[in-house]
Amino acid sequence: MAKYFALFLIAVVSCTHAAREDRKIRIIPQPVSVVQTGGFLRLDTSYIDFYSSSSDANNAIKVFQDELKDDLQITFSSQKSSDVEVTIHDGLVSGGYSIEVDRKKATISASDPEGTFHGLQSLRQMILFSEKKGNKILIPCCKIEDFPEYKWRGLMLDEARHFFGVEKVKQLLDMMALHKLNIFHWHLTDASGWRIEIKKYPLLTTVGGKGAHKNPDGPVKFYTAEQIKEIVAYAGERFITIVPEIDMPGHAAAANRAYPEFSGGGSEAYPEFTFHPAKEGTYAYLTDILREISELFPASDIHLGGDEVHFGNQQWATDRQVQSLMKKMNLSDLKAVEKYFINRMSDSVKSLQRKMLGWDEIVDSEVGPDNAMVMWWRHDKPEQLKKALENKYNVILCPRIPLYFDFVQHESHKWGRRWRGAFADIEKVYTFPPDTLPGFKEFNDQILGIQANVWTETIVDDRRLDFMIYPRISALSEAAWTKAGNKNYEDFLERLKAMLSFFKDRDIYYFNPFEPGLSPEAEGI
């Protein structure tokens, strides 16, 4: 009898624990404050009354309702006596929100439309991840206060090396929005391909858009200007800013295939790698391109790259026009020529009422911090981060380790990149940034945020892209949004389980950190 009584107690405890688990509030990224007040709001699984007193919230509400229609086939009506009410008023941090759920309704408050959008995405997760009984969704009564730690919460996708297309980019923007990521950095040009239509220079796409990193003879693939406008608008509806990157003076081989008259040559390993720094026509040509870019993207920033120029600038040393430029402008070496180029193009960006973004090499170009921002990517050069901060640049943190999502994410993985054995597992992403980074404490107000970069030399198809992004995107979102003191990796893993089910329901192929041995790597390398 004692044996059976013990088994009964175990069963009761297990059921109670399961019930408590069902009543947890699972939101990624973790809010600033969550207080459960007891009881539930019972929402119908197919019908919700929804009311807003402010037309400023209409766009955020429309996206939320469209998403829930896709998620659960829920329909909506608008009544003042509602299940969900949205209000906009002063007093909350920009981009932040509060949610109060009682037994009658959920009320979302924010001081701006962006905050409303974030609050609705949190409510969406609460609806999706809460217990369901019969035709009711049991939302735990609670009070939530929330706002972001960093204003720049970014993800970069490289489509120059391999192209993914409109629908895949929209899906990625959807997942970014759910996770409250707000910057999509779009790497659209590189040696492998030029992926954006420039009407004044059509050969950039018809010639430069041919092939991919793994297949140089592949078909021409690029985005038309109309497709760019469509994607920019789609992102804007989700309060995501798209920052375009047009790489220069290096990584220019695709452009140089199209317009060889502007090529500055390259090296044996990197042929035709650079734009020509001594031809006035080069600067007019690139400024024309940036003018069309600025018309397509309303973002205040344009990324010019500026990295790894030494890979292919050797021909500058013997080019007659470059040598003449060096003598005329008193440029002592090829590094000084590179600085000259970056400063000229920085001026072009400024003339378009935009601000230049660049990789951390631009710190050495001495372009002023009033005209440029820096992305620190070389984790093995912490001194470059410190130098950027000491020189008063605003900085976005995106070091290879742990924020390059083309690096493998588990010790058993064979495909993908490592850095001297190091890789970017989900826990390293989650716990970034450490406060031991050089200058982190002294210049914290200059650190705008963090960003993960998805380079695609080893990512050739949608399945592999998903596998490398998910679920690290969830860890990234909490690293960027949530205060360090509120982060708890074990609690995050518990909340992540519900998010993995969400990915699975949407046919997103993800790495499962809970069963790494049963989660084979995506193929297509």
Spatial contact of 252 and 263, defined as CB atoms under 8 Å apart: yes
| Closest listed residue to residue 404, CA positions, set 383, 441, 429, 368 | 429
Q: Is the Cα torsion angle 461, 467, 473, 476 positive or negative in sign?
A: negative
Report the Cα 461 to chain-centroid distance in Å.
Answer: 19
Bond from prior residue into 471 cis (ω within 30 degrees of 0): yes
| Secondary-structure breakdown of the chain: helix, strand, coil percentages, each rounded to the nearest 5 | 40, 20, 35
The angle that helices 462-469 and 472-481 make with each other, rounded to 10 degrees, is 40
Please tell me the distance from the alpha carbon of residue 314 to that of residue 266, in angstroms, as a whole number: 6
Residue 472: exposure state from Cβ atoms within 10 A (0-12, 13-18, ≥19) = buried
Report the Cα 249 to chain-centroid distance in Å.
Answer: 24
Which residues are identified as catalytic?
190, 251, 308
Alpha helices per DSSP H over 136-192: 166-178
Q: What is the enclosing helix (H) or strand (E) of 129?
A: helix 113-129
